[in-house]
Amino acid sequence: MKLAPSEEQLMNYLWKMEKAFMKDLLEAYPEPKPAATTVATLLKRMTDKKFVAFRTFGNSREYYPLVQKSSYFGKQVKGMIKNFFDNSPSQFASFFTSETDLSQEELEDLKQLIDRQIENKKQ
C-alpha cells in the first residue's frame, strides 16, 4: 500500500523520532505548520492503513511506526522498477546513473556499494 505525499512527509518525521506525540509531530513541520486537525486526519488515515499505531496516555496518544522506512521505500523502488523500467534493474541503474548528473566521486561510491553487494552474494 502506498502513502500519499503528505502522509509520507509525516511518516518521515515519525521514522526519525521513532515515537512521538501530536505536539512533537507538529513541531517537526517547517513554517507554515499545518493545522492540528490536518495532522490528526493524516494520523487516522495512516493508522487505518496499518502504517502507524499508538499508545494512549490519559488524553494523549503516542504514535509509532509499524512499517520500517527501508521496507516501505524498498517496495516503492521495486514498484517503480516494475512499472517504469519493464522490471529491469539494469534499465533503472542506467537511467539513474545517466540522468541524475552524478559526479565521478558519487559514481565511484556507487561502484563500491555494488562491488560489496556482489561479494556478499558470493558468500
pLDDT digits (tens, 9 = 90+) for 15-51: 999 999 999 999 999 999 999 999 999 999 999 999 9
Axis crossing angle, helix 69-84 with helix 5-17, rounded to the nearest 10: 150
2 pLDDT band (50/70/90 cuts)? confident
Q: What percent of the chain has pLDDT over 70?
A: 100
95 Cβ partners below 8 Å, 6+ apart? 85
For the question of whether the overall pTM of this predicted structure is more than 0.95, the answer is no
| 43 touches 62 (CB < 8 A) | no
Tell me what pLDDT residue 98 has.
Answer: 85
Tell me what pLDDT residue 21 has.
Answer: 97
pLDDT digits (tens, 9 = 90+) for 52-65: 999 999 999 999 99
Look-up of cell digits 512521538: 20
Enter the C-alpha cell of residue 89. Answer: 534493474
| 31 touches 63 (CB < 8 A) | no
pLDDT digits (tens, 9 = 90+) for 68-96: 999 888 888 888 888 889 988 888 888 88
118 Cβ partners below 8 Å, 6+ apart? none
